[in-house]
A and B are shown apart, each in its own frame.
Chain A
Amino acid sequence: MTNPVTISARGVVKAFGQGPGAVRALDDVSLDIRKGEFFTLLGPSGCGKTTLLRLIAGFEMPSGGTILLDGADITDLPPNKRPVNTVFQSYALFPHLTVAENVAFGLQMLGKPAGEVRATTERMLALVKLEALASRKTAQLSGGQQQRVALARALAPQPKVLLLDEPLSALDLKLRKEMQVELKRLQHETGITFVFVTHDQEEALTMSDRIAVMNAGKIQQVGTAKEVYTQPKNRFVASFIGETNFLTGTARAGALELPTGDTIPVEGLKPVDGGKPVTVTVRPEQVRIGKPGVEGAKAKVAALVYFGTDTHCHLHLRDGTEVVVRLQSPASGDSGLAEGDEVSLGFAPGAAQVVED
């Protein structure tokens, strides 16, 4: 993706409170979001993702740094002067207005002629399939319908960037899945840049072009879903997205030497200066189990948990370290392993990643 940058955050700091008691919600955050991207800010609650979104919207002013929109500095612009619209977590629909009036609100405030307001409102209601409910009050709508009104209202003024603050968190699972598809379709049809905030890593993986993983006010890693899943930069990213195993040992040429003395082949691993221990992460589905004696670490099957499509095999290394392996269940459902079996543990080629702590 080589589209031009739309939103650019440069060294953004946001501190709440003053003096030594101040909390840094955002600590020197720099980020580029490209035009037309579905960009996700992912992290646990309190990581600063919503604060960053509110700074882009203009609801809060940063304590330091700048925010650029298409190259222009918008850091000090009030929200009503930014060509950016928000879908709020609570939807924040105007209860005294009808569905159509809600959708028309932004266009009217922009001073668009009445004919254009009507036409665009109709088009937006059609886009979210709510034409039939145009004259209803918003309180009469279901959660999913309110969600659609909020989307139509925010999309109607054709913003350069649409900000979505955990918009699906209030919906039940089935509706959430539907809206995920719906959001992707809307983004595709409108071509507008979406900045999506979520704490749900699965939602982030399935929907995003790129993901910024955040923790403790800092950006941990930016990349595509595949990049952050298969090449996590640090321990936080590896453990926050999906399930994973961590193994600490000494790096040898092409192998990891565990504290037990066993070695596991790791392609391309190089010794570290001073022999400092390194941490390697490997996803449960990328762990390979071999017959005893095959090259790898000696391990014992501690538990087998059958999940239907998968079987989770809990292995114990000789020093008691647990490694979880996800095996695809064969047709018979029998993994061919039994508790207490001695096995040899290895990694799929290219699956093990050295991570920073």
Chain B
Amino acid sequence: MAKSGADRGFQVARVPGFAITAIVVFVALYLPIFTLVAYSFNASTSLAVWGGFSLDWYARAWDNDQVKDATLRSLIIASFAAVISTTVATMAALGTTRRRDFKGQTFIYVMINQPLMVPEIVTAVALMIVFGLVKVWLTSIGMGGLTTGLGYLILAHAAFCIPFAYLPIRARLEGMDLTLETAAADLYATPWQTFRRVTLPLLAPGIIAGAMLAFVISLDDVVITEFVKSGGQDTLPTYMLGQMRRQLTPEINAVSTMLLGLTVVLLTAFFLLTRKKT
């Protein structure tokens, strides 16, 4: 028996123009990225004119000390920020889920997720002002040596990475059977042993996922880094931004493509870790 479309209920895929809309959206999302990747193999110095296939720009990027320096700095900051934010996020997640609902719970969630809601530029300016004050104070007490260094960037990155680490960890905790911890206590485990032998191993995929997300978010940050960094503290994204202002060569494409590659690898790992087991 043939059924009319109305009988099957509303289906987005059957709305006229669905296919064309989908194609436009996909093109808009991915065409720029494909172009970027393609032109990173461009032999010409122009960003717009194709001059044949070449790996030159990759070789140049590898030889560029500024790129290497900025990349190393980015990786150091992202590693520290990921570890610190994940530790804090794990504690926050344990504190907010391992108990009965309490008054002000929503308020706590909002507090933890603040960096997701406050415009980044506001946070950036605020951090710049606060760090400026701290630096003035440190100089005044004769500790001017502490006014530079990566510590400020690491602290700033760790702070805005917390919600990104918190969300997958909390999701994992909420799916966890609390009886398991009761069972561990019943089997003579102290609270610390229960955490170490039961909670933490079960939480590990969430923690690793949170750490990777935090790492990627830190790696990619421009706005806060631009405001907080001292001279000569370019990270890869701020270095690239600086380059754009001077001369534009496909070297930028090559660097971007490598950054893209790293991000894709990390995010793929993230999704593999967080997907539900069947």
**A: which residues have CB within 8 A of B?**
57-59, 78-81, 84-86, 88, 90, 92, 94-96, 105-106, 109-110, 153-154, 157
With both beta carbons as reference points, the residue of chain B lying nearest to A156 in the complex is identified as B187
> Which residues from B are CB-within-8-Å of A85?
186-187
Q: A85-B187, A95-B202, A96-B201 are in contact. Are A109 and B182 (CB under 8 A)?
A: no
**B: which residues have CB within 8 A of A?**
177, 179-180, 182-190, 193, 197-198, 201-202
With both beta carbons as reference points, the residue of chain A lying nearest to B181 in the complex is identified as A92
B187→A105 contact, CB < 8 A: yes
Contact among B179, B190, B201 with A88 in the assembled complex (CB-CB below 8 Å): B179
C-alpha gap A90/B185 in the complex (Å): 16
Interface of B is mostly: helix
User: Given known contacts A90-B177, A109-B188, A109-B189, what 17 new A-B pairs fall within 8 Å (CB)?
Assistant: A79-B182, A80-B186, A81-B188, A85-B186, A86-B186, A88-B182, A90-B179, A92-B179, A92-B182, A94-B180, A94-B183, A95-B180, A105-B187, A106-B187, A106-B188, A109-B197, A154-B187
C-alpha gap A58/B188 in the complex (Å): 12
C-alpha gap A112/B275 in the complex (Å): 38
> Which residues from B are CB-within-8-Å of A105?
184, 187, 189, 197
Interface centre among B177, B183, B190, B193 (most CB of A within 10 A): B183
B180→A92 contact, CB < 8 A: yes
A78→B185 contact, CB < 8 A: yes
C-alpha gap A154/B183 in the complex (Å): 9
> Which residues from B are CB-within-8-Å of A106?
187-188
B198→A79 contact, CB < 8 A: no
A109→B183 contact, CB < 8 A: no
A86→B183 contact, CB < 8 A: yes
C-alpha gap A309/B186 in the complex (Å): 46
Contact among A79, A95, A96, A153 with B185 in the assembled complex (CB-CB below 8 Å): A79
A157→B201 contact, CB < 8 A: no
A94→B198 contact, CB < 8 A: yes
B202→A88 contact, CB < 8 A: no
A69 to chain B, nearest CB (A): 14
A21 to chain B, nearest CB (A): 16
> Which residues from A are CB-within-8-Å of B202?
95-96
C-alpha gap A217/B189 in the complex (Å): 31
- A to B CB contacts below 8 Å, 22 in the list: A57-B186, A58-B185, A59-B182, A59-B186, A79-B186, A80-B185, A80-B187, A80-B188, A80-B189, A85-B187, A88-B183, A90-B177, A90-B179, A92-B177, A92-B182, A95-B180, A95-B202, A96-B202, A106-B187, A109-B190, A110-B188, A157-B187
A139 to chain B, nearest CB (A): 8
A138 to chain B, nearest CB (A): 11
With both beta carbons as reference points, the residue of chain A lying nearest to B180 in the complex is identified as A92
Interface centre among A59, A79, A110 (most CB of B within 10 A): A79
> Which residues from A are CB-within-8-Å of B188?
80-81, 106, 109-110, 157
B100 to chain A, nearest CB (A): 11
B84 to chain A, nearest CB (A): 26
Contact among A80, A92, A94, A153 with B190 in the assembled complex (CB-CB below 8 Å): A80
With both beta carbons as reference points, the residue of chain B lying nearest to A83 in the complex is identified as B188
Interface centre among B186, B188, B189, B197 (most CB of A within 10 A): B186
A120 to chain B, nearest CB (A): 13
B54 to chain A, nearest CB (A): 50
With both beta carbons as reference points, the residue of chain B lying nearest to A86 in the complex is identified as B186
With both beta carbons as reference points, the residue of chain A lying nearest to B202 in the complex is identified as A96
C-alpha gap A153/B186 in the complex (Å): 11
